[in-house]
Amino acid sequence: MRNPDRIISDKFDVAVVGAGIVGASIALWVQQERKKVLLLDGQAPGSATSYGNACTVATYACVPINSPSIFRRLPKLIVSTSSPLRIDWWYALSHLPWHLAFLRNCTNARVNAISHNLATLLQLTHAGLDPLVKLSGAGHCFSAEQGIYYVFSSADGYRAARKETEARRRYGSAITELSEAEFKQREPGVTMPIYRVLLFEGTKFLRNPKKLVEHYVDQLIRDGGTFRQQQVLAVSPDAGGVNVELENKTVIRCDKLVIAAGAWSGEISGSGAENLPLDTERGYHIQFSDLGHLLRSPVAWVEGGFYATPMELGLRLAGTVELAGLQNKPNQGRVDYLIRSAHKMFGAIGMPDDTWLGFRPTFPDALPVIGPSPRSANILFAFGHQHVGITLGGATGKLIADLVSNRQPEIDLSPFGAERFNRH
């Protein structure tokens, strides 16, 4: 804290930094513990990464982006303009330790361990999500349709994903295989040739993810909690709690502080998060406001690296991965790639009327950090959820509520601890 003598303006039991889906879920779960809760963010609730995602509750997402095949596929992926992956080489060279750590987590043994740990978290999805949806009256934010599709446009793509599909089944996903004809009876808006389709049975998706976060925050306030649209500049823990300095130069005091600011978590001075290997997978979306009727359920084109999702806001194509950090400008080439892909998938549907760049918070091992900061037991970390923040926000909130109340969480959190990075 740069000015430790500054007068403290307010006192809270728990302050949560980050009003995306993860932070809002944490705040609402912790409030159920009869805690006085403050939620902080420099932006409006749900307006950053939680706004522009693919909207899927991806309980099947136990397979990380890390893959043993990356070593074989990398040369083609990084030079092709039709690749779902782009690497900014100047950025990669200046952040070489993160990229090398990522590659170390692409061995078979590491990927199997990561999948097991992700699956353990994913098993808590509905226990964390459903009570918050009911409490906040946000059921209408989800589609009545159920089921999410993975489509493969080639036999090679289908065969390459066989091991991943087996892992998803092994960890409990109900998967039905469909032919092209069977799929197009259900989703006739997709016109491209298809080799094979996987249907993830019983899965659901959001019609408007920002509205879900807004419902959570509104419920938090109705029940006596506080939201302040203020950026957190620095924090200073001590034996009794944490002082938190805001951008308006005020200081608040809390017994426990939760850092859930996604890709920006490492920018909060004094929390300990600034010492962790957090980076971002930049993702893009394009949106066609009048074409939501083209699909009933989300369709992921696996080789293309994106989802097409029917939303309240229209038809959204969201995905791809760009490794280029928080500060680089949006890459028009990524947008153009999604536009070309939309035309391949749906035909001549015109141009999108909205484009967006978001920042998925990602560690080299694709696992979030959930647990105490090495700096202080009064600071808890809850960030790094990569592609599954919407899915795991509620589960993370429930686990953090256990820690705040000194209860034993229902799963072992050691695979998600910040100290794991000291072991490598």
For tokens 């092209």, the residue is 180
If pLDDT is split at 50, 70 and 90, which confidence band does 1 have? very low
DSSP 365-405: TS--EEEE-SS-TTEEEEE--TT-HHHHHHHHHHHHHHHHT
Instruction: Over range 99-119, report the average pLDDT.
Output: 96
- The confidence score (pLDDT) of residue 374 equals 97
The confidence band for 78, taking pLDDT boundaries of 50, 70 and 90, is low
Rounded CA Rg of the chain: 21
Q: Please say whether the beta carbons of 208 and 142 come within 8 A.
A: no
pLDDT tens per residue, range 320-337: 999 999 999 999 999 999
pLDDT for 77: 66
Cα–Cα distances in angstroms (integers) from residue 51 to residues 21, 33, 46, 159, 276, in the given order: 9, 28, 6, 33, 25
Instruction: Specify the pLDDT at position 83.
Output: 86
Distance CA 39, CA 18 (A): 7
- Residue 9 has what pLDDT? 79
Averaged confidence pLDDT in the chain: 95
pLDDT for 61-76, tens place per residue? 999 999 888 777 777 7
How many Å apart are CA 135 and CA 125, to the nearest integer? 16
Q: What is the pLDDT of residues 353-398, one digit of tens each?
A: 999 999 999 999 999 999 999 999 999 999 999 999 999 999 999 9
State yes or no: pLDDT of 5 exceeds 80: no
**Partner residues linked to 243 by β-bridges:** 236, 253
| pLDDT one-digit tens code per residue, 140-174 | 999 988 899 999 999 999 999 999 999 999 999 99
Judge whether 98 and 364 are in contact, CB under 8 Å. yes
Angstrom distance (rounded) from CA 184 to CA 300: 14
Task: Tell the residue number behind the tokens 């590491």, with chain if given.
Answer: 110
Q: What is the pTM of this model?
A: 0.96
- Give yes or no for residue 2 having a pLDDT over 70: no
Hey, is 114 helix, strand or coil?
Answer: helix
pLDDT band at 4 (very low <50, low <70, confident <90, very high): very low
Q: What pLDDT is stored for residue 165 in this prediction?
A: 98
Q: Could you report the per-residue pLDDT of 191-247, keeping only the tens digit for each? A: 999 999 999 999 999 999 999 999 999 999 999 999 999 999 999 999 999 999 999
List C-alpha distances in Å: 180 to 307, 344, 407: 18, 16, 49
Q: Is the domain defined by 62-106+148-202+278-362 classed in CATH 3.30.9.10?
A: yes
Residue 3: pLDDT over 60: no
